[in-house]
Amino acid sequence: MKDRKVKVQGTQDRLGTKGVGALLMEFSIPATIGMLVNALYNIIDRMFIGNAQELASLGLAALTVSFPIMMIMMGLSLMFGAGGATFFSIRLGAKDREGAEKILGNSIAMIFITSFLFMVIALANLEPLLRLFGASEASMPYAVEYMKIILYASVLQGPAVGCNHFMRADGSPKSAMFSMFIGAGFNIVFDYIFIFWFHMGMTGAALATIGGQGLSAIWGISYFISKRSNMKLRIRNLRLDIALIGKIALGGLPSFFAQVSNSFLNIILNNKLGYYGGDVAISSMGAINSLQQLLVLPTIGISHGAQPIIGYNRGAGNYHRIKETMGKAILAATIFAVTGFIITRLFPSALISAFGKEESFREFGTKAIGIWMMMLPTVGLQIIGSLYFQAIRRPIISLLLTLTRQVLILIPAILILSELHGITGILYAAPISDAISFFITSMFLIFEIRRLNRLSAKQIRV
């Protein structure tokens, strides 16, 4: 037992002692690989549907209008998964094991409860929701067929997403990566089998998705009740503590609103795209959003790798390590964002063609990807900046930065520019929003670096 305690303590202490660069790589590389694989199955989903004769662009449009509902589901899981893991890391940094385990138990309980409630509400209002997100009469049957299956299994997505954050915070980034691997692997293999062998259409795509989520959920829950974990999921900690749940939810609000605002954005975007360009424009932007997710996810992986390091050192009061982690995370994230930008400049037509061969689809998609991702190099700093403030439990600033990019600037830009310039105006709204958001996030980070410098100097004097 004593050896076990020493091992656990050593696993956690390295967050406050090991070199920041090596630690960031240790946590970020598995997170990045896992999220890339996760994004890959999302993209392959669209490729299989877009290239299936019986589905093609209508199936792709159905998936696009279904995606915002799935993002809201994920947002609820992230509110308690990402929010809980942030609080969990800080408790570990303060050497409060009991408090950390209570946060874990309450977070998992709330993920199950909110997933079930969302399933009931969404199933009762499915067609109005899909219509709200831009489903046409032609794409509606495909979307309903897909979403009914996804919603009935929504209690699988919650723990699959939430446990992933806690595994990283527990000091096991490879276990978190494997969770995403098994889910994505199942989805990719059975997508092909169900869609092309058995010709199951949208039902096959949905069954492959929930099968992968189920495997990830089982892996995540089993991790915290096995010897593999440092902290344990205990039955007594599933008893809800309302005050604690409030703190967890507040910390997770930026993650929740990032998903919900993305869904709200899709309402506006899909309806405007449908009005000015029809189902072809909606399906093309669905493909572009999947590509953007793939290109940006390394940056999100880095931010998720940095979160437990920043949270632990915030709890331990190691301000110089917090600043160093933030700086190195921003540098790495920007390198990935610039690389993604270069890829979109060199191979726009090839990237779009992977999702469908229809001439109108490829023509619009090739034009759109060049404009929509024009300011991609700035996204790295924006994502790291927002998650940094969440990791140090300053959720209001994190929420402001998240909403600035996805709601406060982008949605008004889409509404105004679409009236002035039609479909072209919609496309230019994204780079304008990214440029303004980059400037605002930079200002907040400059003030934060000055604050950390003052705190570090004060520690040295003491």
pLDDT digits (tens, 9 = 90+) for 287-345: 888 788 888 888 888 988 898 899 888 888 888 899 999 999 999 999 999 999 999 99
| pLDDT surpassing 60 at residue 6 | no
Residue entry with tokens 């990402």: 82
Residue 4: the pLDDT is 45
- First CA to last CA distance, the chain: 38
Give the tokens for residue 227.
Answer: 């010897």
Tokens, residue 407: 């709601």
Average pLDDT across the chain, whole number: 87
pLDDT band at residue 58 using 50, 70 and 90 as cut-offs? confident
For 19: left if phi > 0, alpha if psi spans -120 to 50, otherwise beta; the answer is: beta
CB atoms under 10 Å from CB of 169, counted, come to 35
Token pair recorded at residue 3: 């050896």
Rounded Cα distance between 375 and 365, Å, is 17
pLDDT attached to residue 462: 54
What per-residue confidence (pLDDT) applies to 2? 45
Interatomic CA distance for residues 395 and 414, integer angstroms: 27
Q: Residue 59: what are its φ and ψ, rounded to 5°?
A: -65, -40
> Does residue 243 register a pLDDT over 90?
yes
Q: Which residues contact 38 (CB under 8 A, 6 or more apart)?
A: 180, 183, 184, 297
* pLDDT cut 90: percent of the chain above it: 42
Q: Which of 97-101, 114-118, 352-356, 431-435 has the lowest mean pLDDT?
A: 352-356
The total number of residues written for the chain in this structure: 462
pLDDT at 3: 45
Burial 123-132 (b: 16+ CB within 10 A, else e): eeebeebbeb
Residue type, 403: L
Residue type, 97: R
398 Rama class: left (phi>0) / alpha (psi -120 to 50) / beta: alpha
Distance from C-alpha of 113 to C-alpha of 98, rounded to nearest angstrom: 23
Question: DSSP 3-state assignment of 358?
Answer: coil
Candidate from 41-55, 112-126, 258-272, 349-363 with smallest mean pLDDT: 41-55
Q: Distance (Å, rounded) from C-alpha 75 to C-alpha 255? A: 6
Express each pLDDT in 125-157 by its tens digit: 999 999 988 888 888 999 999 999 999 998 888
Q: Which amino acid would we find at residue 284? A: S
Contacts of 85 (CB under 8 A, 6+ apart): 107, 165, 166, 168, 169, 307, 308, 311
How far apart are alpha carbons 295 and 282 in whole angstroms?
A: 20
Token representation of residue 300? 């999100």
∠ CA 336-338-340, rounded to 5°: 70
For helices 154-169 and 97-124, the axis angle rounded to 10 degrees is: 160
Report the b/e string of 6-16 with b at 16+ CB within 10 A.
eebeeebbbbb
CA dist list (Å): 136 to 118, 174, 359:
24, 42, 21
Q: What is the pLDDT of residues 427-459, one digit of tens each?
A: 999 999 999 999 999 999 999 999 988 888 877
pLDDT at 374 over 50: yes
Q: Report pLDDT digits (tens) over 378-431.
A: 999 999 999 899 888 888 898 899 888 778 899 999 999 999 999 999 999 999
Q: What is d(CA 372, CA 365) in angstroms, rounded to the nearest whole number?
A: 10
CB-based contact 341:396 (threshold 8 Å): no
How much is the CA Rg of the chain, to the nearest whole Å? Answer: 22
**Chain centroid to CA 270:** 20
The model's pTM is: 0.78
Judge whether residue 7 has pLDDT over 60: no
